[in-house]
Structure 1
């Protein structure tokens, strides 16, 4: 027996250490900033920059939430004319912007914004496309308008991404009606939508054959998705969304999947009350990562550039709450590390990798900043 006991305790110790070595996804500590870069101001005096995209001539288009669309070229900032009027209320305004994958041939630019069109007071998120000619938007086409209008000022979404097959994905938040909209496929809000590039509904969308369903819905059970990016290798659409007080999530979007809000959540309400006691449930898609406490994520991009060798292959996410850029380190679809970038820079509303390979941040009250490695 004396010879068996040491072996027995060795096995127990090994199992104990192995179990404790498995870090829960929300318990990954964030490393402090390594200041091996500087910032260059590309455009200043933009109060709330939201969306960013680059034209083939190298100029940058930036949406400002109040309803202004800027074109920035050689550090000169000009306002684009004929931008649709936005319903400016709370988090609503002029939101995301993206180019068609074949923009060089067709010239289509896509934008989301809060609109008061339609019946009822208030507004809701709308998707349009247009062309830019001589500094003005032309041939504006309405592709999707969420209903109903509401005077609530929260959770409009909204990001736009094209996948490798040319389908357009965009997000609309649940507009503050979290016990009504996210779980009901007959209602807009709290959804990721998929359309053809002309706004028509793809025949294989998951709820096309469901009577009364919103045929554009691709996934549901979301709260307020303000980050969306296409994985550079797999082509999958990744998103992040705001949780309540705790429980911001990173998700990989799957057809017809339910992402749980508000049936399951890792957060609580802002008044400290419980929204749901469930954190997981059969039939509901789990996030690949969640933040507790919330960082209030906004904007996201995968780093593919050789300019940042330590960041390449990983994900950048802005933090509105803590005012830094977060490097989310990945191994496949698993989050394995976190690091602060640009600590105390301000409320990072968006982050994107430009065609020149550099990383650009949209920072509230400052404008567009370019990260220059030393």
Structure 2
């Protein structure tokens, strides 16, 4: 059959382009061995970026060029949803994350982030809208947040959206690559994580409210490009990872008002010339990472696993990797985070998003062939 290739070490076959096919991939666990199968539920999407589950089990998926689609659990892909605003689909920019309102069952509201074109360039923005999943359209689209600068360039937009347990929305914002020094400036949204209410207003308990020269929506600063974020299932605190340059990809516990160092304190090195960036890897006023990767794996997507489908995985943190084309499983023991194992290396897909589904299984978006993947127990 055209397009098939062997998955090394297991004798299974990948037949690209077919829906609901199974990669017979045996993944060795660091504890007891537990095989998993990778099922390709849907394929043919164009640079899929984010995945969220609707109450009926269908998935709302964003494609970076500016489309949203609904994908059924059986792999049926809808036509594009109408009403998505224009996006700046250049470089790493475009239509990015999407999440449901905590009250979606009654308000049918979604929130999504995107690179918004402006007269000067583009900026990361967040909109809310009412979704009609049957008519495939958005209505009442409203921009509730936008970065206060909109430079040219196509890199480092962030942007993950996470609702806290209090109903406020965290938004991760990149440093836009050529403007990395602004990550340390509290009058700029570049290289920040902000916390807003669902209407875009500022919660009064944000750490910089009332501080002269600081934007009140800022929650934390000194970030480079956060493309994965999730709430810790026990503490409810926000965790996030971010890309480092040639080393220094980080996982951080995001605490209010803290400085996470970029570009002054980092494990990263300059591209091409390889010299160290900043002053070093530690400073008293900078929050150290809970884990860092050198060399960089190019992380994207992030989810804590709270189900019971896979033996030994409960409580693990899963992170997709674009550069190394794998799924990393991390564990927290004695207050320390370590990488427990690397999964799906034989599959060779750029993992963009990682989500736990209502079935208790892990679902992935991968960019290599534009697919929705599901991990099934073996």
Same fold (TM over 0.5): yes
User: Partners in 2 of 1:158 and 1:205 — Cα distance?
Assistant: 20
Compare CA radii of gyration and give the structure with the larger one. Answer: 1
Q: Specify the alignment match of 1:8 in structure 2.
A: none
| TM-score of the aligned structures, taking structure 2 as reference length | 0.87
Higher RCO (Cα < 8 Å, 6 or more apart): 1
- Within 5 A, what are the aligned runs for 1:255-294? 255-271=256-272, 272-294=274-296
User: Partners in 2 of 1:128 and 1:181 — Cα distance?
Assistant: 24
Give the conservation status (yes or no) of the 8 Å contact 1:178–1:261.
no
Give the conservation status (yes or no) of the 8 Å contact 2:31–2:312.
no
SS in 1 for 2:166: coil
- Within 5 A, what are the aligned runs for 1:213-252? 213-252=214-253
Note the residue ranges of structure 1 that are not aligned, 5 or more in a row: 1-29
Q: Specify the alignment match of 2:98 in structure 1.
A: 97
Confirm or deny that 1:317 pairs with 2:319. Answer: yes
User: Partners in 1 of 2:277 and 2:31 — Cα distance?
Assistant: 33
Deviates more, 1:136-145 or 1:147-156: 147-156
User: Partners in 2 of 1:265 and 1:33 — Cα distance?
Assistant: 36
Q: Specify the alignment match of 2:373 in structure 1.
A: 369
**For the structure 1 residues 69 and 301, does the alpha-carbon distance in structure 2 shift closer, same or farther, using more than 3 Å as the test?**
same
User: Partners in 1 of 2:263 and 2:198 — Cα distance?
Assistant: 31
- Structure 1 residue 274, shift from structure 2 partner: 2.4
Give the conservation status (yes or no) of the 8 Å contact 1:241–1:249.
yes
- Within 5 A, what are the aligned runs for 1:146-157? 146-157=147-158
- Within 5 A, what are the aligned runs for 1:1-374? 36-73=35-72, 74-78=74-78, 79-117=80-118, 120-133=119-132, 134-271=135-272, 272-331=274-333, 333-345=335-347, 346-364=349-367, 365-374=369-378
Give the conservation status (yes or no) of the 8 Å contact 1:33–1:343.
no
**For the structure 1 residues 75 and 337, does the alpha-carbon distance in structure 2 shift closer, same or farther, using more than 3 Å as the test?**
closer
Aligned-residue RMSD, C-alpha: 1.8
- Structure 1 residue 214, shift from structure 2 partner: 1.8
SS in 1 for 2:106: helix
User: Partners in 1 of 2:81 and 2:87 — Cα distance?
Assistant: 15
- Structure 1 residue 40, shift from structure 2 partner: 1.4
- Structure 1 residue 216, shift from structure 2 partner: 1.1
- Structure 1 residue 180, shift from structure 2 partner: 2.8
Give the conservation status (yes or no) of the 8 Å contact 1:126–1:145.
yes
- Please list every run of at least 4 consecutive aligned residues from structure 1 whose deviation after the TM superposition is greater than 3 angstroms: 30-35
Q: Specify the alignment match of 1:20 in structure 2.
A: none
User: Partners in 2 of 1:89 and 1:32 — Cα distance?
Assistant: 43
